[in-house]
């Protein structure tokens, strides 16, 4: 049963599906472009669960280009296109021990030379800027037990901050609809349809000697035929790609966010010298990949942590945050550097999953024979979404390079697999 036909079908209405759909429709106004998602609205997969942090500080030149141009476009969306994305350019502050700083020094120099607007801040200056920050743990046996290193340096990135990920997704959706695209929510894709290019109408097709291609999808509401199917289903991509023998080049891993609203944290909003808000930037601790940032629209702080070794890979449909992960793990480290968190408990918490490409930590845009796959965003799909959407559209058009916002170019094949050409990212949080 055929429910509908279209030229381009995008499966997945997350930030990558909708940014791709927008550029596909914009570049091909005569083509019908349809986005489907199994959930009831846009961004309800992992996009809206994100911390919404963005940074242009990456060791990989490709990552830098993807993020830096997306940041510029998000400002353009706010300033010129009428979308309130709640962009707050508070900056990112990496707190480093002496050993960590020495390890990253070379990469940080290259980052600075690209014009990433970074500033190195010494320990004494940091203490003056952030009231209450503890940098030294001499004589603190507990800190020694936790293996905490003194803070020696801060690396501050000014062109970094936070965005309302839900608003960003909705902005792409509204631009896509304005351009004439169509969305269908509550439509679950069950499988990709694979057929011979030359159909012979013989039972048992496709045979191994036939050339095959993807001709659309089977959904909960009937089949959709499409000349090109874009799979943008985030961590769920393996469910569609595995059955047809294609790789998603990522593994899902749980990530959690804890939100705090407490007057004891007010000193973090009286921090001078980083941003126009007089607030602490998004701050990354030297230990346990713990980071937090103010969320100005709610008057809260959002804390995330990226546990790696010991945290299993595996797809979870409804991952739940673990309060004891905060109280028994994160809390003990956090409170040593920022004693203002003492006895402060989260008022809200949630969990989602990263689609981790642990080989080089960059996204993948690949595919052929009627299919484009975009994913493996490795925990930074929000901050690179605009560039990735443009690259998907350039791949569809068969162009060698995509023009990113601001005019810089990106070679499409660099994010593919067969001619992949990206530098492995080392500044991972
Ligand atoms: C806790 C957390 C914090 C994060 N923090 C940041 C951050 O600070 N900055 C940043 O840049 N990134 C961050 N990320 C990562 C970011 O959220 C992702 O990289 C990004 O959302 C990926 O977008 P996507 O469109 O690929 O996936 P998703 O947003 O997950 O979209 C996939 C969509 O596909 C749909 N779908 C799946 N299967 C089917 C099917 N069979 N049929 C129909 N529809 C289907 C889903 O319903 C979903 O809507 C964070 C992620 C998490 C979990």
The encoded tokens of residue 261 equal 């609203």
Is the per-residue pLDDT at 141 higher than 70? yes
Is the per-residue pLDDT at 128 higher than 90? yes
Domains and CATH numbers, the chain: 2-52+166-249+359-415 (3.50.50.60), 92-157+252-355 (3.30.9.10)
For residue 162, the ligand 1 atom closest to its alpha carbon is 8
Give the per-residue pLDDT at 115: 84
- What sign does the CA torsion over 160, 161, 167, 169 have? positive
* Ligand 1, atom 50, residue with closest C-alpha: 50
Is the per-residue pLDDT at 3 higher than 90? no
In the predicted model, what is the mean pLDDT of residues 118-126? 95
In the predicted model, what is the mean pLDDT of residues 289-315? 93
Query: What is the average pLDDT value for the chain, to the nearest integer?
Result: 95
Give the per-residue pLDDT at 308: 82
Between 150 and 428, the higher pLDDT residue: 150
Is the per-residue pLDDT at 356 higher than 80? yes
Under 8 Å between Cβ of 389 and 19: yes
CA dihedral angle for residue 10, residue 14, residue 16, residue 20, rounded to 10 degrees: 40
Distance in Å from the first CA to the final CA of the chain: 47
Pocket test for ligand 1, best of 16, 50, 232, 244 (most atoms within 8 A of CB): 50
The encoded tokens of residue 412 equal 């499409």
List pLDDT tens digits, range 178-225. Answer: 999 999 999 999 999 999 999 999 999 999 999 999 999 999 999 999
List pLDDT tens digits, range 23-38. Answer: 999 999 999 999 999 9
Under 8 Å between Cβ of 423 and 60: yes
Give the per-residue pLDDT at 209: 94
In the predicted model, what is the mean pLDDT of residues 63-90? 98
How far apart (Å, rounded) are the C-alpha atoms in residues 88 and 119? 19
User: Ligand 1 centre from 123 Cα, in Å?
Assistant: 37
How far apart (Å, rounded) are the C-alpha atoms in residues 130 and 367? 48
* Ligand 1, atom 22, residue with closest C-alpha: 381
Helices and strands (H and E) in the chain: how many: 10, 20
Is the per-residue pLDDT at 315 higher than 80? yes
Is the per-residue pLDDT at 287 higher than 80? yes
Residue 1 — very low, low, confident or very high, per pLDDT cuts 50/70/90?
low
* Percent of the chain's residues with pLDDT above 70: 100
Backbone angles phi, psi at 22, to 5 degrees: -60, -50
* Ligand 1, atom 41, residue with closest C-alpha: 189
Residue 116, CB half-sphere, CA atoms under 13 Å: how many?
30
Pocket test for ligand 1, best of 9, 20, 44, 47 (most atoms within 8 A of CB): 47
How far apart (Å, rounded) are the C-alpha atoms in residues 378 and 238? 15
User: Ligand 1 centre from 55 Cα, in Å?
Assistant: 18
């Amino acid at each position: 049963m055929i429910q509908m036909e279209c030229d381009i079908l995008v499966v997945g209405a997350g930030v990558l599906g909708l940014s791709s759909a927008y550029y596909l429709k914009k570049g091909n106004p005569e083509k019908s472009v349809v986005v489907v998602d199994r959930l009831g609205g846009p961004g309800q997969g992992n996009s809206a669960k994100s911390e919404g942090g963005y940074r242009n500080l990456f060791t990989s030149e490709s990552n830098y280009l993807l993020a830096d141009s997306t940041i510029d476009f998000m400002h353009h969306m706010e300033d010129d296109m009428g979308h309130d994305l709640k962009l707050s350019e508070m900056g990112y502050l990496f707190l480093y021990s002496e050993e960590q700083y020495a390890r990253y020094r070379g990469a940080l120099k290259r980052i600075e030379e690209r014009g990433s607007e970074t500033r190195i801040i010494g320990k004494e200056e940091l203490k003056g800027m952030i009231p209450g920050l503890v940098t030294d743990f001499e004589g603190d046996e507990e800190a020694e037990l936790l293996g905490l290193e003194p803070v020696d340096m801060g690396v501050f990135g000014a062109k970094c901050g936070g965005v309302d990920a839900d608003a960003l997704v909705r902005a792409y959706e509204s631009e896509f609809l304005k351009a004439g695209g169509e969305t269908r929510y509550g439509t679950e894709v069950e499988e990709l349809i694979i057929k011979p290019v030359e159909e012979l109408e013989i039972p048992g097709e496709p045979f191994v000697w036939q050339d095959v291609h993807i001709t659309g999808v089977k959904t909960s509401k009937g089949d959709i035929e499409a000349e090109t199917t874009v799979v943008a289903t985030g961590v769920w991509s393996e469910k569609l790609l595995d059955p047809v023998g294609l790789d998603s080049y990522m593994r899902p891993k749980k990530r959690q966010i804890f939100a705090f609203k407490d007057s004891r944290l007010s000193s973090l909003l009286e921090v001078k010298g980083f941003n126009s808000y007089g607030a602490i930037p998004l701050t990354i601790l030297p230990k346990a990949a713990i980071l937090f940032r103010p969320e100005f629209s709610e008057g809260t702080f959002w804390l995330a942590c990226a546990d790696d070794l010991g945290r299993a890979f595996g797809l979870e449909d409804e991952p739940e945050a673990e309060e004891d992960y905060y109280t028994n793990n994160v809390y003990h480290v956090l409170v040593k550097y920022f004693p203002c968190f003492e006895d402060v408990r989260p008022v809200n918490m949630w969990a989602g999953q990263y689609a981790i490409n642990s080989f080089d930590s960059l996204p993948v845009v690949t595919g052929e024979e009627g299919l484009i796959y975009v994913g493996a965003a490795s925990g930074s799909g929000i901050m690179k979404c605009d560039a990735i959407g443009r690259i998907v559209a350039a791949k569809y058009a068969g162009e060698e390079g995509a023009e990113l916002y601001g005019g810089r170019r990106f070679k499409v094949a660099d994010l593919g697999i067969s001619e992949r050409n990206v530098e492995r990212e080392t500044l991972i949080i």
